Amino acid sequence: MMLDQIRTITRFALEDTPPKTVSQYWLKIISDGLGSPISIPLIVARGRTDRPILGLTAAVHGDELNGIPVVQRLFKDIDANSLNGTIVGIPVLNVPSFIRKRRRFNDGVDLNHIMPGKANGNVSEVYAYRVVNLVVKNFDYLLDLHTASLGRINSYYVRADMRDEITKKLALLQNPQIIVHNPPSDGTLRGAADELDIPAITLEVGNPNIFQKGLIRSGLIGVHNVLAYLGMTDDVIEEPETPTVICKKSYWIYTNTGGLLTVHPNITDLVKEGDLIATIVDIFGNIKEYYYAPEDGIVIGKSIGPVNQSGGRILHLGILE
């Protein structure tokens, strides 16, 4: 399909896509300072039946790229003739940030902190509001694909409300290394979906500004597992090779002192209370501070940038059930 043949639409409407077909659209969201449209890419596979509608979103932060090929490859795999229900993929949700290769929206706001936005808000709030109301509100389920932010690396992990049986199942089907129990928080896309009674999980698929083949493959397997679980395809659910570690909570550990930071454990390492986890030296190489694990846990993610200011992040510690 040539780029100039892709139709521009102003809202997601299921009837725009004929049954048993896959279509690509530009969904107009806002206009820029020249009055030109800013549109998000939309891929819709409408099967033999209309529902359920599974939504896949990626690049809510413009530098989080691994989710993009997960969405692209899924639609290459799908046979709409045998699909039950509809899949809606948004490979890049935050287009202005994606173009600038930046995490935040072009007014400096984190789009995943202001969902579902406001109809009459500022520029980022209007963008968020229109994304939610023009397309996301139509979903029956949502898988929101993210990565670590700049200067950090992540395990392949999922954030989900594990008290809810549906989101718990969606999380386990991803075969992640780690699941963190995390009720939907205000301002996130997952939280906005939850307010609309749409079961949703957040997938953290690796690291920013890069395509990682192994993690992309893992993310794709997880989506296929969900499709099989929902009865949308006849795929066989692929079981995890190693058991998933489930955490009842998690938090970041921060520095008190600036300097050059070295974080010692690797992601997915288990640490014990009192284990040395980080060292800071000054510019002359003198030891300034040691940091120790405050309790037993697992390393979900960590900082990899050595230049650290007071209050910088060290590692993301998950506390096991």
What letter does residue 4 receive in the DSSP assignment? G
Q: What is the pLDDT of residue 294?
A: 97
Dump pLDDT digits (tens) for 62-100: 998 999 999 999 999 999 999 999 999 999 999 999 999
Q: CA–CA separation, 222 vs 235, rounded Å?
A: 11
Mean pLDDT of 136-152: 93
Predicted pLDDT of residue 3: 47
| Those residues with Cβ within 8 angstroms of residue 291's Cβ, 6 or more apart along the chain or in another chain | 253, 255, 276, 277, 278, 279, 280, 314
With contact defined as beta carbons under 8 Å apart, do 70 and 219 qualify?
Answer: yes
d(CA 161, CA 152): 24
* Other CB atoms within 10 Å distance of the CB of residue 212: 17
pLDDT of residue 4: 52
Angle, CA 213 vertex, CA 209 and CA 216 arms, to 5°: 80
Tell me the CA distances in angstroms from 23 to 17, 47, 233, 321, one per residue in order: 6, 11, 18, 43
Rounded Cα distance, 290 and 283, in Å: 16
Between 164 and 210, whose confidence is greater? 164
pLDDT attached to residue 2: 45
Average pLDDT over residues 37-44: 96
pLDDT greater than 90 at residue 221? yes
Q: What is the pTM of this model?
A: 0.93
From residue 214, alpha-carbon distances to 59, 155, 318 in Å are 18, 12, 23
Residues 6+ apart with CB under 8 A from 48: 19, 20, 81, 82, 83, 84
Asked if 54 and 22 touch (Cβ cutoff 8 Å), the reply is no
Rounded to a whole number of angstroms, the distance between the first and last alpha carbons of the chain is 49
Whether the CB-CB separation of 87 and 44 falls below 8 Å is answered with: yes
CA–CA dist 42, 95 (Å, integer): 12
Answer yes or no: are the C-beta atoms of 78 and 128 closer than 8 Å.
no
Of the pLDDT bands very low, low, confident and very high (cuts 50, 70, 90), residue 186 is confident
The two structure tokens encoding residue 268 = 């997915």
DSSP strand pairing (21-31 vs 7-9): parallel
